Amino acid sequence: MKNYELQFVVFLCFFLKVGLLGFWGFQSRKKNFDIAY
């Protein structure tokens, strides 16, 4: 059970990190797009 909980926490952290990186990349691209046009 503890192993499963650890895997869940690691997966959650990984998911949040990927989500934040994706959101930051999207915002950066949107900003560059607004500057270009």
Q: What is the pLDDT along the chain (37 residues), one digit of tens a residue?
A: 688 899 999 999 999 999 999 998 888 888 877 776 6
The C-alpha atoms of residue 17 and residue 5 are separated, in whole angstroms, by: 18
DSSP state of 1: -
Is the overall model pTM greater than 0.75, yes or no?
no
Q: Return the number of other C-beta atoms located less than 10 Å from residue 4's C-beta.
A: 8
